[in-house]
């Protein structure tokens, strides 16, 4: 990595964030398209921790895609499975867990996350989310007549709840490296706040 690159992730920052996290899990929450899976994986690498994505884990254990699960069993059953899978994932750590967009909205799952680690909300504006989610299928909640409006309604409903996360980082239309650096800075800073409120 070129040290003059302004988006370069300095080793000390990764190490400081890792020390701040200690034995806790780091859990990414936020809406579809915020970057939880993509950024979570990169952050885990910087922290030297295992990474797991709850949507992928649900698909692995059920041997079905998220869309198939919604179609066959409905959203309520999907949420019940999601809660069980996330509970298990949080039991052994520290690790980085990227959750599905609705996970933190479920009160049971939210309590589990709050109890087992540091939660981080990747917050994004509607147009950023829309640009990202409209490129790929596989999000059953957006199979509506007006998916952009559905996404906007989900933002209104969910943003006050995501705001309960320990940390918030703005997910913007910039290089992923820059968001990763913001995440690591937020984690390292959180430890200072805890020591020196």
Ligand X SMILES: Nc1ncnc2c1ncn2[C@@H]1O[C@H](COP(=O)(O)OP(=O)(O)OP(=O)(O)O)[C@@H](O)[C@H]1O
Sequence ranges of the binding site for Mg(2+) = 37
Query: What is the spatial distance between Cα 157 and Cα 150, in angstroms, rounded to a whole number?
Result: 11
Query: How many positions of this chain bind ligand SKM (CB under 6 A)?
Result: 9
The number of beta carbons lying within 10 Å of the beta carbon of residue 172 is 14
Q: Which is nearer to ligand X, 164 or 193 (CB)?
A: 164
Handedness of CA 131, 134, 135, 139 (dihedral sign): positive
Q: Site for ligand X (CB under 6 A): which residue of 9, 20, 42, 55?
A: 55
From residue 73 to residue 112, what is the string marking binding to ligand X with x (rule CB under 6 A)? Answer: -------------------------x-xx-----------
Interacting residues with ligand SKM between 129 and 188 (CB under 6 A) = 139-141
27 interacts with ligand X by CB under 6 A: no
Query: What is the spatial distance between Cα 4 and Cα 44, in angstroms, rounded to a whole number?
Result: 23
Q: Count H helices, E strands: the chain?
A: 8, 5
From residue 127 to residue 166, what is the string marking binding to ligand X with x (rule CB under 6 A)? Answer: -----x------x---------------------------
Taking only Cα atoms into account, the Rg of the chain, rounded to an integer number of angstroms, comes to 17
Minimum separation from the CB atom of position 189 to ligand X (A): 20
181 interacts with ligand X by CB under 6 A: no
Query: What is the spatial distance between Cα 61 and Cα 80, in angstroms, rounded to a whole number?
Result: 14
Binding region for ATP: 33-38, 139
Structure tokens at 31: 């809406």
Binding region: 33-38, 55, 79, 101, 139, 158
């Amino acid at each position: 990595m070129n040290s003059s690159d302004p988006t370069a992730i300095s080793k000390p920052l990764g190490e400081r964030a890792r020390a701040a996290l200690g034995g806790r899990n780091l859990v990414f929450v936020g809406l579809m398209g915020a970057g939880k899976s993509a950024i979570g994986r990169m952050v885990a690498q910087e922290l030297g921790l295992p990474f797991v994505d709850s949507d992928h884990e649900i698909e692995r254990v059920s041997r079905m895609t998220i869309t198939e699960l919604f179609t066959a069993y409905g959203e309520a059953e999907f949420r019940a499975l999601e809660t069980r899978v996330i509970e298990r994932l949080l039991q052994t750590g520290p690790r980085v867990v990227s959750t599905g967009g609705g996970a933190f909205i479920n009160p049971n799952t939210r309590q589990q996350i709050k109890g087992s680690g540091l939660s981080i909300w990747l917050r994004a504006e509607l147009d950023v989310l829309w640009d990202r989610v409209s490129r790929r299928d596989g999000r059953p909640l957006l199979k509506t007549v007006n998916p952009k409006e559905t996404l906007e309604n989900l933002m209104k409903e969910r943003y006050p709840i995501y705001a309960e996360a320990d940390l918030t980082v703005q997910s913007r239309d910039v290089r992923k490296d820059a968001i990763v650096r913001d995440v690591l800075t937020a984690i390292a800073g959180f430890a200072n706040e805890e020591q020196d409120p």
